[in-house]
Amino acid sequence: MRNRINNCGSREKSLHNLFFLKVGMPPHSRRFPRIPWQRTSIPDLSTLFHLAPSGHVLISPQGVILETNSTFAAWAGRDRRALEGTLFVDLLSPEDLLEYQRWSAALTSGPAVNLSVDFQGPGNTRLPAYISAARIPSRTGTLDLVTVFPVPGRRRYERDLVEALQQAEAAEAARGAAEQRALQRESLLQTILDTVDVGVLVVDDEGREILANAMMENARSLIPSDGSPTFGGGTWPIYGRDRKTLIPDEQRPISRAIAGESFSEQIVWIGTGQGQMAVSVSARTVRDGSGFRGSVLAFSDVTQLVRALAAQAEFVGNVSHELRTPLTSILGYLDMALEAEVQLPNTVESALQTAVRNAERLLQLVTDLLSVASGSAALDLQETGLAPLVHAAVDSFGARASVNGVEFSVEVPADLRAVVDSGRIREVLENLVSNAVKYSPDGGTVRVRARRQDDSVVIEVADPGIGMTVEEQEQVFTRFFRSGGALTAAIPGAGLGLVITRRIVEEHGGSIGFSSEAGQGTVFTVELPADGPERGLQTY
């Protein structure tokens, strides 16, 4: 030990001085009062250093351990020799490093306030203690003498409590900021919803109202109530297209939305009397990882539009009816002239036949207009064989097909049957076959197929004709629409056939779709329920 102290530059003398500094006595005194005492044997300073009840660690300015006493080494469960030359901070718990560095940086020549830290013992055990230190000058700068006071059983309650309080304060501040942001977003959302010109209603999975915008609230006060079942927070009666028949509860927009159904543009009439309003309702479901959570409904007032369309249909119907009577009379007289026993000059007979063809074409147009204006009609549903209907529709356009160089390929089982209105379904088939022939001016094969598919009957009419562009496909079922190719090729038509066809198919509870490509042809597909429409499930 003495040799090691000499190597460090008279370390025993340094320890001697440090010891007396620790106990508060000067290392030398010129004058001491004479007190009688009996000389006894005093252990050397090195022994006193190592037998001290508290731990002592001498640390260089770089934080390197120069010396520790046996008390500290035993308490820390380390070899005293192995500790020399290591960093003091390596003995501390990682959670205490930052606080220790601040505390160490504030050391002065006087003793520092106690600092509560945890040392790391064997097996990563925690050794709680208080440490104090004095920074003393040395020949090479300064040294830190750190005194360690073990605190058996201490669980750092004070600091844990402070940390818990700090974390709670931070969490509360974060929660407050989150609430503020949520309130700002909610205010912004409400402002946006209040600016749109449609009513917006948000309901949960049980139909309870969560949110309604200003337009929706205004509608509540405008529509009279008569005590009918609840609709969007009010007791509004809801009627179908005839404005008189109440819609079944399960077909109400709110009921459909609560059931998890998404739909678009369901037209209903709400209210009674002069305040009755036509409303277009759309709904979209709200879902998360746990499933259906609610629905968002949008209500648009289409009263004026519906009334305008009704007035337009009434006008078209009246005009068409007025035109049909004289046209029928004209055709009758033309037929009489052609069937007369008097031999007519060839030029006259040819002119009369041209007049008949044009009158028949005009009569067909008037009939289509009347059909569009009249809306839905009662269906005469009967179980019917579809094969005869398909062949009859194909045969009726045989002559026109020959002119265009079109051939037919018909594939329909002889026993294929369905519950339909045979007259209306034949009209559907004739419209589709007629279009297939007309829009195939360069000839080719028109394929007509029908088959049973599960509970439905599927009918396909495919042509190799001029087809349609993407833009034209969006307007296929629009009244009076004619494609650019049809206009260029001067193909006759009024643009009403497909409108009528879709309405008839939907009256049967079916659907119609198509696929088309410009210059490559078109395929129309009709799907009908084999057992007839389910009247109770019609959507108004």
| Assigned token pair, 82 | 């192995």
pLDDT digits (tens, 9 = 90+) for 15-74: 445 444 444 444 444 555 666 656 666 667 788 888 888 999 999 988 999 999 999 999
Q: DSSP letter at 227?
A: S
| Assigned token pair, 274 | 């002069």
Find where tokens 């102290």 sit.
5
Q: Residue 230: its pLDDT value, please? A: 43
Q: Is the pLDDT of residue 153 over 60?
A: no
CB 14 within 8 A of CB 66: no
Strand partners, 209: 203
CA gap 428, 497 in Å, rounded: 8
- Cβ neighbours of residue 7 under 8 Å, at least 6 residues apart? none
C-alpha distance from residue 184 to each of 52, 148, 192, 263, 325 (Å): 65, 54, 12, 31, 68
Strands 456-463 and 417-420: unpaired
Please state whether the predicted TM-score (pTM) of the whole model is above 0.75: no
Q: Is the pLDDT of residue 299 over 70?
A: yes
Q: Residue 540: its pLDDT value, please? A: 32
pLDDT digits (tens, 9 = 90+) for 238-286: 888 777 788 888 888 888 888 888 888 788 888 777 777 888 888 888 8
Q: Is the pLDDT of residue 223 over 70?
A: no
Q: Is the pLDDT of residue 14 over 70?
A: no
